[in-house]
């Protein structure tokens, strides 16, 4: 398990764009199960939508992408500045996400090479499936 302090060492994202609260399962390169608690205080709920609060699908994709970064994080990348570029997203949304939902995001590699990868992602909230799909992204080391 990784707590939020460990996650912040891996992910470059910060408030209000850190979409993972905890990592429940962490098998580098094989499988990651991450947790995102959705509260009514999320900034985006004030505009999406004032009358009916629904988590934007793009942010669910962001949570998938952040879980994928954790999936491919290697111990030896600690000292490197790595930029991640999302290349393609093929996602189907199955159920809306409301305040109070706890998202469990599972990502597994479909195909990984040294500088790019395709991952399969499934997001559930309790016993309902929220979204599933595939993300392709590349990683590039940048000089600090």
Partner 1 sequence: MQDLENEIRGLIAQIIEKDPVEVTPEAKFFEDLGVDSMMALEIMAAIEKKYKISIPEEKLAQLRTLKDTIAVAQEFMAGKIQENA
- Residues recognised as catalytic: 48
Dihedral pair phi/psi, residue 138, rounded to 5°: -120, 160
User: How many residues interact with partner 1 (rule CB under 8 A)?
Assistant: 11
Question: What distance in Å separates the CA atoms of residue 4 and residue 9, rounded to the nearest whole number?
Answer: 9
CB of 76 to partner 1, least distance (A): 19
Question: What distance in Å separates the CA atoms of residue 94 and residue 102, rounded to the nearest whole number?
Answer: 15
**Residues of this chain, 90-119, that bind partner 1 according to CB under 8 A:** 110-111, 113-114, 116, 118
At 124, is the secondary structure helix, strand, or coil?
strand
Shorter beta-carbon distance to partner 1: residue 6 or 136: 136
> Does residue 49 have a cis bond before it (omega within 30 degrees)?
yes
Q: Does 136 contact partner 1 by CB under 8 A? A: yes
Supply 144's token pair: 């600090």
Question: What distance in Å separates the CA atoms of residue 2 and residue 98, rounded to the nearest whole number?
Answer: 25
CB of 13 to partner 1, least distance (A): 21
Q: What is the maximal distance between C-alpha atoms in the chain?
A: 47
Question: In this chain, which stretch among 1-9, 67-75, 94-102, 132-140 interacts with partner 1, using CB under 8 A?
Answer: 132-140
Site string for partner 1, 73-92 (x = CB under 8 A): --------------xx----
User: In the complex, which residues of this chain contact partner 1 (CB under 8 A)?
Assistant: 87-88, 110-111, 113-114, 116, 118, 136-138
């Amino acid at each position: 398990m990784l707590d939020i302090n460990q996650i912040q060492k891996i992910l470059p994202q910060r408030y209000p764009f850190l979409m993972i609260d905890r990592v429940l399962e962490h098998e580098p390169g094989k499988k990651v199960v991450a947790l995102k608690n959705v509260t009514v205080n999320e900034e985006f709920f004030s505009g999406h939508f004032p009358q009916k609060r629904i988590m934007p699908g793009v942010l669910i994709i962001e949570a998938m992408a952040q879980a994928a970064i954790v999936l491919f994080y290697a111990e030896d990348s600690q000292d490197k500045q790595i930029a991640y570029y999302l290349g393609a997203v093929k996602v189907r949304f199955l159920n809306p996400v409301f305040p109070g939902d706890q998202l469990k995001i599972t990502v597994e590699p479909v195909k990984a090479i040294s500088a790019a990868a395709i991952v399969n992602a499934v997001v559930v909230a309790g016993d309902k499936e929220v979204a599933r799909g595939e993300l392709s992204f590349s990683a590039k080391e940048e000089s600090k």
